[in-house]
Every structure is written in structure tokens, then in C-alpha cells.
Amino acid sequence: MTDHDIRVLDESNVRTAHTLFRGALHSGPAPDDKWELVKDSYDPGRAFGAFQGDEMVGTAQSWAIRLAVPGGAELAGAAVSRVGVRADWTRRGVLSALMRRQFQAYREAGEVVSTLRASEAVIYGRFGYGVASRGRQLKLDRRRVSVSPSAGTGGRIRLVDQDTALTLAPELYDRIGLTRPGMTTRWPTWWEMNLRREMRDENAQTAVHRGADGDDGYVVYSVKSGMSEPHGTSVLTVLDVVAGSPEVWAELWRYLLRVDLVDQVVAELRPLDEPVEWLLADRRVLKVTDVEDETWLRLVDLPAALAGRSYREAEPVVLEVRDRYLPDNEGAYRITPDGAERTSAAADLSLDVDLLAATYLGDVSFTELAHAGRIDVLDAAALPRADALFGTAVKPWAGTYF
């Protein structure tokens, strides 16, 4: 393993880092006009480069976020992105060095967790990241859709122009808040890099629901028309749904399913338990075409992360946690309905930190992991207790891609 010089990047070298990252994905450098749109998304002090002499061979960066956890608390964290190693420097410890430096920086900043979206599923588990939420891909034959009757909300849905959307959507997202474990805050440049890009490149539309007390939800979608092609298919793609109540959520989806001149409605990475099919007279019209990983979660400060979420009623369980990259996280933790703390008591279950991250938001149970042979069961009676303690009323989901 080669020693690597990991440096905090500044304005003089973030474009080099961006070009390196794009190259790792087999893309060329961003042209000047594209770079002008991207450069402000590099937050000062949050981008790192791995150097050999004066030559950058790897990079990683992040944004500061807050993550909703079971019980409603929000933990300080980092959203990791633009991770890349130059092709001629892979498998030499560059990524490991970058990960270690990021973990150190997060702890120094008081950030308890980090999260990313993985381009390849086999990379990040060894650094302690576990799949903590997943999403469904949905496809509906719009021509066969019959929406079930509803009393509605008494509100109204209206289309807004792009400038209004860029102001109103962030305000609504922040006001409605993080309503599900796994959701994160969205940093200012997220909106520029996502909503503005969707409106520019995909002609995305924004529809806003207004209730008795004001605006309380919105949906962003795009339509690719098939009218210009023989036998073409018009596809409506759902890009973002934010609602202040279940009733508003239902009205926004009913709106989407009633847009004219559409043959198919598709949506990616929707919550596993989102009841879209129950809006339909014929549930078979909705097809789940895939289920994919969404949140990859790293418990950076394990004691703080375990103490930061709530637990449901069950007898205590003692977890022994292994953490190769952050060994001071290792040890036994006693989990009770009142919280979590380190203990010298004998462990009931033993597991690696990436698997604990997978259970942390409620996506997978300890019993499922045990059945797959992924955790060490020292007391079989502890499995239902651990499942109950870590259980959640809803499936975790982030809804923010980066």
C-alpha cells in the first residue's frame, strides 16, 4: 500500500478534481458553460484530493446535511459524492485513504453519519457503508388507469412557472420537513443542480397543491412525447413528490395519473410502502419493475448515532459491533427502549458496522440478516427483541438523489 497525500481542495484545483471524477466515470471534462453551473456546488473545505507529488490521483467531496432517524430526531451528517480514482491508480489504497480522511473530517465537524448513492454496489461495504433504504421503480399503463373515487382535499393544484418553482419548492420542502426516517435536508446547490437542470434539459413541470392554509405540497414531472414518432409512446416521469399530509400526497398522485396525452407513467426509487396502487380501481395496472438500493449509510460516530434515534418497546439486547476503519466505534452496546449506551455485558448478537447501518433506519431486520448468515447469533432469543427495538412504522426512504 502506497502512502497518499490527502489535501483539502480550494478554488484553484476543484476543477481538476471534477475532471478526474468525470474521467473515472469515463466522461470527458465539463465544458466551460457546464462548469459554470457546477463550480459553486463545491462547498469550501469539503472536497479532498489524493496526490502523488503535484499530481492528483483521486478525489471525494460532500455536502453538510441533516438526516431524519426513527423517532423524529435529525442528526448532523455528510452527503458524499464525486468520489473517483484515476484509472492508473486504482487498487493502490487511494480510495481507502480518502475515506479515512473524510471520516476524520466528519468527526471534527461533529457529523454523526454519512450517506452516499453508490455507482457500484461492491465498493462501499468495506468502508462501513450499508444499504439503509431502497426504492421501487413503478410503471403504470396510463390508458388503463382508473383512479378510485375520493372526497379530495378541497384544495387546488396549479402549475407554476420555472422561476416560481425554483423559489417555492425549496421553501415547501423545508417547511414540510423530514417526514420519514432516511430523509435528508437539501443544500442550496442541490436545487440548482437538480430542479433547474430538470427544467432545462427535460422540460420538467412543477404542480403545487394549495390547501385552506396555503401551499402544502408539490410534484415535479416531465413528459417525453411520442407524438412525433409513428406508434410512439408518451411517458410521464415522476421526479419529485413532496406533501404535507397523506391527503395532499394522494391528490398530487391523482393529478399525475390524470395528465392527458400520456401513455405511461413511470417513477424511480419511490418508497417501498408508498400505496400508489391503492389509488387505483385496478391495482394490476401498476407494475413494480425493479427494487434498487437508495441510501448507503455510514455510522461515523456510533455511540452518538445509536443514542440519537428512538427505540420501540422490547426487552434489552446487547450488540457487539466490529468496525475496521473506525476501531474506536467497536465494542458492546446495550439497546433499550430508553436509549443506547456502551456496556461490558456479554453480547447477544455480533455484527459488522455496515450491517448495523442496514438495520439502523428500519429497512432490514436482524432476523433477516441472521437467516442469511450475515450476523453472529450468540443468543437466538435476542433476534425478536432486536427486531422489535429497531422496528419502524414506515419504511425508510430518502427521496433525494445526488
Q: Which of the residues are catalytic?
A: 124, 402
Cβ neighbours of residue 338 closer than 8 Å, sequence gap 6 or more: 311
Q: What is the dihedral of CA 135, 137, 141, 146, to 10 degrees?
A: 0
Between CA 257 and CA 360 the distance in angstroms is 34
Closest residue by Cα to residue 84 from 32, 39, 19: 19
Q: Do strands 235-243 and 264-271 pair parallel, antiparallel, or not at all (unpaired)?
A: parallel
3-state DSSP helix/strand/coil % of the chain, to nearest 5 = 30, 30, 35
93 closest CA partner among 2, 191, 199:
2
Q: Which 3-state string (H, E, C) describes 383-395? A: HHHHHHHHCCCCC
- Residue 220 parent element (H or E): strand 214-224
- How far separated are the first and last CA of the chain, in Å rounded? 31
Q: What contacts 53, CB < 8 A, 6 or more positions away? A: none
**What is the biggest distance separating any 2 CA atoms in the chain, rounded to whole angstroms?**
71
Tell me the CA distances in angstroms from 290 to 268, 279, 284, one per residue in order. Answer: 9, 20, 16
